[in-house]
Amino acid sequence: QVQLVESGGGLVQPGGSLRLSCAASGRIFRINTMAWYRQAPGQERELVARISSGGSTYYLDSVKGRFTISRDNAKNTAHLQMNSLKAEDTAVYLCNAVLSQHRNDFAANYWGQGTQVTVSS
């Protein structure tokens, strides 16, 4: 089985920074993309940032210039550096990986449990 474990969430004041980490473990042949989603109470889950195995990135417009996604392919980890945090960034942040467990498998979606990020004074 595959597990994604997030860490690094917490409470931070507006304008502060947090760094989220996601570690994938288990039987993994190849990870195609790793991404961070977030979901605030009463709102739909939204894609915050995504990074391909080659390093191509995508960012939600509202986080461009403030958040940076990175990954370490050798360690099957991804990170989200969040700077200049705003109250509207408050949400549960979930790690996502699209990966295959064996050479001939189709890639599938895997999710972590999520980590709470609260931006408040």
The residue written with tokens 């990170």 in the block is 79
**Nearest C-alpha neighbor of 70 from the set 22, 9, 10, 119:** 22
**Once rounded to an integer, what is the mean pLDDT over residues 102-113?**
94
Per cent of the chain over pLDDT 90 is 98
Average pLDDT of the residues of the chain: 97
29-81 pLDDT, tens digit each:
999 999 999 999 999 999 999 999 999 999 999 999 999 999 999 999 999 99
**Once rounded to an integer, what is the mean pLDDT over residues 100-111?**
94
Q: What's residue 37's pLDDT?
A: 98
63 three-class SS: helix
Judge whether 95 and 78 are in contact, CB under 8 Å.
Answer: yes
Q: What's residue 91's pLDDT?
A: 98
pLDDT confidence tier of residue 25, bands split at 50, 70 and 90:
very high
CB atoms within 10 A of CB 97: 23
